[in-house]
Structure 1
């Protein structure tokens, strides 16, 4: 109804221009409006603002000699006894500092892609013990894996019968000439690896892996590329701890299913995967993932293909 005021509401009373405006509640009590002024606020409000200021000036980056005295009026805890929060310098003794340690972690590994639930799929490419991986696919998938391994600090040695496929790849990807070297034989490929600079030895020999098992050590991983899966390459699959598969033909899928002891429907799915998919076989599970190639990876490696 017009003319009524809701309980607890305050209304403005018009005043002359330039005069102070007050607020009147429904009980008729007059509430003074705050004056606007350039003078600093006084009382507890000024002390609270002063406490919020830095303890030392902007040009002085040394810690204060003593913390500022605490004003009881500025305590904000429910009991009025909350300690003020001091952000800035903290000092510990040398004895305590020597007790601070960093615990090494195995890490999440190299992110290979994402599964059908969009969860990241890590690949433990490097480890304190030797790792052997087989890839049934083309150079594109191998170079994508290597490109991501560069981000882990890896050095790469490629032993190949087709050096033109690798010419200039390391320089383009890293801007350095010694991060990836290409050899026509195992000679000169026996480099050691460390946790800071692991080594990836890539064998791109067509249908088979290396004739003899290369010597491996800590932080050194062997990647064998099988351009096509046929019986000469089955030994490489059996020796590998992990197997990566691009889309396979019918005969290849049959060989992979029997050699890796896959379920029948897995062998069928291998024949219908998209170009940007991989199957990760090993560690007691089969995972099918999308590689999620970035624009930068497309620039250096090209679009997905086998």
Structure 2
């Protein structure tokens, strides 16, 4: 008995087509259907075919997404726009903050929230312990270390590290230095003798309220215009002048409810 793969009667096949030609076309069609139904290695089944989507050139701007800079939102600028610090970088990055513990801790919390591991080198562990216990929802993302005892952190693109050095007025040279995906934030409560060296080597400098004499010195070191360095002695709690070699911006750090509950209100003095 022979098996026929021909088109059934009434299927709409051309009346002039011979049985052999109809059988050949049906066989090829069945072969294509069988091949299409087989999973393609690495690609899966062939999906449905649709017309390509197209947009007129004059409407392309409507597809733009409001994506800002990548980093830690440290506060808002004078126009109430988010101010972002790009802490996690593929190159060594040093930050010096002349300011209060409160701002440094907010920065550490928010860096941890972006997925960075935070290692705190400090001589006042009692001031950091509540933060370390509360951060990460139970995950050990903030670790505390005695001064000079920070071990290698093994930073990588998938596991960036922020080292916060809270070592007083004269921080010793650290064993762990900035490296790709490992930034170092040094907190100075005031302008100390080691400050000029730190400011000159830093990629980013933050300055909170200081005395008029300190403001004038910082102005000379950072080449600030007079109206900016004179403002440093009048800044409110939570306001920081962040400086890079090519940009300067006053930023107000506003704590979330959770941060206020953990750290209290913004303050310059500790």
Give the TM-score taking structure 2 as reference length: 0.70
Structure number with higher helix proportion: 2
Instruction: Evaluate the alpha carbon distance shift between residue 230 and residue 166 of structure 1 in structure 2; reply closer, same or farther with a 3 A threshold.
Output: same
2: distance between equivalents of 1:224 and 1:130? 14
Preserved contact between residue 201 and residue 222 of structure 1 (Cα < 8 Å)? yes
**3-state DSSP class of the match of 2:233?**
coil
Pairs within 5 Å for 1:1-306: 108-176=70-138, 178-212=140-174, 214-306=176-268
Deviates more, 1:148-157 or 1:214-223: 214-223
Identify unmatched segments of 5+ residues in structure 1. Answer: 1-91, 98-104
How large is the RMSD of aligned CA atoms in angstroms?
2.3
Aligned residues: 208
* TM-score, structure 1 normalization: 0.63
Q: Which residue of 1 is the match for residue 15 of structure 2?
A: none
Query: Contact (CA 8 Å) 1:230, 1:255: kept in 2 or not?
Result: no
For residues 128-161 of structure 1, give each alpha carbon's deviation from its aligned partner in whole angstroms, at most 9, with x where no partner exists. 1111000001111100001111111111111112
Deviations along 1:186-218, one digit per CA (max 9) or x if unpaired, are 334321212332111111111133325733322
Q: In 1, Cα distance between the equivalents of 2:206 and 2:189?
A: 12
**Residues 95 and 202, structure 2, Cα contact 8 Å, conserved in 1:** yes
Residues of 1 paired with 2:95 and 2:158: CA distance?
20
| Aligned-partner SS, 1:231 | coil
Q: Runs (4+) of structure 1 moved beyond 4 Å?
A: 92-97
How far apart in 2 are the matches of 1:196 and 1:300? Answer: 28
Q: Which has the higher contact order (CA 8 A, sep 6+)?
A: 2
